[in-house]
Every structure is written in C-alpha cells, then in structure tokens.
Amino acid sequence: MCGRFENTLSLQSVFDLLKENGIKAEILDKKVKTKSENIPPTAKIISIAQNEKKHIVRPVNWGIKFSPKSPLIFNSRIETIREKKFWWNLLGRNRTIVPMTGFYEWKKEGTRKQPYRIYLPEEDVFYVPALFHNMKDEIFASLITTTPNKFIKKVHHRMPVIVDFPTAMRFLDSDVNDAVEICKPYSDKKNMEMEAVDL
C-alpha cells in the first residue's frame, strides 16, 4: 500500500474545510482536474502544504521520479525516512498532507485478486502524511507508509499513515522529531471497514 486511493473532495472543498476551521489558506492551480476514484500513481492528487504565512491547497503529481531510469517512488516507508539523510531532510522541510475518503487493496481469493475499498466508517475524510519534492517547476509527492495494524494485516504488509484533521495540521507545523512520531499505524481501537468493489 498504497497503490490506488479515492478522494471525493475537490480542491474547493478542501479549501473550505480549512477555512471552516479558521485556517488561512490559498488554492493554487484551481483549474487542474483531479480524479476522485481509483486514483493511480502519476495522477494529479490534492495536497495541503504550509508556508510561513498560510496553508496551500494544490494539485501535485503522485510519485517522485529522480530520472527517466529511476523507479517511481509513490510511497515512502517511515523506516527509510528515519534512516536516510535525504528523506529525513525532506521530512524536515517538505511536508504535505493528502486527503482521502478511502484506499484500495487487492486480496487473493481463489484464482483471482479481489479489490477492496478500505475506509473509516466514522469519518468522511482522513489524511495521509506525505513528502514533496520540487523538480523542473513541478511538485511531486510520496505518501508515507508504515507497518500494518491488525485490520490491514489481513490484506497487506504495509498501510498508509492515517491521521485525523487536527493531527494532520500538527504534522505540517511540528518539528521533524514530532512529525516522525505521528507516522505510526492507525490504532486498532478505531474502526476501519472494507468492501469488495469492481475497478
């Protein structure tokens, strides 16, 4: 995880959510189209970042690719971020948040792999911490993943870091050591559900 996800929110609705919570924000590239379901790597995805004066809601490219021959890094393991200087520095200066309404995992059932939509039944939207990198006047982002909780372990050996809105805002604003401590598996005490879907 995470190779596909869902976000039914628009750039405008994410901006409105920030505004409703008293957070000063600005939308960039408002006319860029983003998918809402079965969003794949390399797609334009909605993100929230922060500068010294305000929060920025903008579309970014999902996945960091440093050269034509290098792999597309659409997920970044928190363990690697802790250990590698380049990724640790990105966490220190280039943090962003990606809103989601669900994500997908595939589970082998007999001879086929069945896709499942995984979501939080008590939350309309949740947030996944990510890192961004600027290259050639474009912004690329990689979602942060961690070890799975008991629920996700049934279908995959990794899961996205999942946080609520206040924690997402704290991730953007905290120092690097606090930010890395936020990146842990979603609590087994909180509800997650999954449903079979056709993609």
CATH number at 57 reads 3.90.1680.10
* Residue 138 domain-assigned (yes or no): yes
| 76 and 143 Cβ atoms separated by less than 8 Å | yes
Give the residue numbers spanning the domain of 17. 5-103+125-148+160-191
Burial bucket for residue 51 (CB in 10 Å: 0-12, 13-18, 19+): exposed
* Residue 115 domain-assigned (yes or no): no
The b-or-e profile of 23-38 (16+ CB within 10 A means b, else e) is eebebeeeeeebeeee
* Residue 18 domain-assigned (yes or no): yes
Our count of domains for the chain comes to: 1
pLDDT tens per residue across span 63-112: 999 988 999 999 999 999 999 999 999 999 999 999 999 999 998 888 99
d(CA 192, CA 150): 10
What is the pTM for the complete model shown? 0.96
> If you average pLDDT over every residue of the chain, what do you get?
95
Nearest alpha carbon to residue 2 among 34, 43, 32: 43
d(CA 76, CA 160): 9
| 133 and 64 Cβ atoms separated by less than 8 Å | yes
